[in-house]
Structure 1
Amino acid sequence: MPFNAAAHVRMARPSRDLQAAERFWVSGLGLDILYRHEADGTPGRHSLLMVGRPDAAWHLELVHDPAAPTDPRPTPEDLLVVYLGEPVPDSLVEQLELHGGKRVPAHNPYWDTWGVTVQDPDGYLLVLSTRTWSNS
């Protein structure tokens, strides 16, 4: 099957603490747990948490290898942008902060004009944009 618009996309990255990540992404943002695997300590086996929406063609996979942890190394340009198409509710930002997030100024001021940037517990940035987006 060729890579096309219907292909499912997985964004994977390391996490220091999957419980903290779950609080942020699930309890804070409201994503669903799509899959979870707890490693038993066997080398080469990773713990992971997949979050997203059941009907979406994407998911975020957060990975932790207890035998050889990889420290997340986010940069100011590592953004996950969610286009809301409406003002960002203060209650959503408060919910994210209550569950381990931290509102931060964006590296690129464009995102401060068009949304809110929140740092997750691993230091990665989530941008909630007031704009809409279409690839067409």
Structure 2
Amino acid sequence: MIAKLRVARPTDNLPALLRFYRDGLGLTELAAFTGHNGFDGVMLGHPQAPYHLEFTHQPSHPAGRAPTADNLLVFYLPNAAEWQQAVDRMRAAGFAPVASYNPYWDQLGCTFEDPDGYRVVLQRAAWAL
């Protein structure tokens, strides 16, 4: 069995993250909730993927920003046309690329910073381990 992965983190601004991850990155809104034990949240991903991202907001608990510029999510997009579409979609949604903290990611990728300071790399390569 292969485990499914949920990456969960708090935010102070759910609407801005929705614009970044849903509208810019192109992830699907899989579920959302409000007022669940004092939390609001949204899950984003692709319905067939074994992962999704969960962002939560608790009004009485400030989440703050990313601790460093090297907190990354990396999406490997080996098809050049699909990679370019993803980069163009981010730019069209109003998100400009930023220089990567680690210059490795700038060689074949394009990095974007979300409203909380966390970064997403669109890597134009296959994931080879």
- Give the aligned length: 127
Q: Which amino acid counterpart does residue 82 of structure 1 have in structure 2?
A: F
Which of 5, 28, 31 lines up with 2:27 in the alignment? 31
**Are 1:62 and 2:58 an aligned pair?**
no
Structure showing the higher helix proportion among its residues: 2
Unaligned 5+ runs, structure 1 = none
- What fraction of aligned residue pairs are identical, expressed as a percent? 39
Alpha-carbon distance in 2 for matches of 1:63, 1:7: 22
CA contact (8 A) 2:87 2:122 kept: no
Who wins on radius of gyration, i.e. which is larger? Answer: 1
- Which one of 21, 45, 53 corresponds to residue 17 of structure 2? 21
C-alpha displacement of 1:52: 0.2
CA contact (8 A) 2:69 2:117 kept: no
Correspondence for 1:121: 115
1:43-90, CA deviations, whole angstroms, 9 ceiling, x for partnerless residues? x5211111001111110111111122321324122110000003331x
Per the normalisation by structure 2, the TM-score is 0.87
Give the alignment partner of residue 69 of structure 2, picking from 73, 76, 87.
76
The two structures have a TM-score, normalised by structure 1, of 0.83
- In 2 relative to 1, CA 66–98 (structure 1 residues): closer, same or farther, beyond 3 Å? farther
CA–CA distance in structure 1, aligned partners of residues 22 and 78 of structure 2? 21
Q: Distance in 1 between matches of 2:100 and 2:79?
A: 19
Matched position secondary structure for 2:35: coil
Query: How many angstroms apart in 2 are the aligned matches of 1:80 and 1:112?
Result: 14
Which structure 2 segments of 5+ residues have no match?
A: none
Judge which range, 97-106 or 18-27, deviates more: 97-106
* Root-mean-square deviation over aligned CA pairs: 1.9
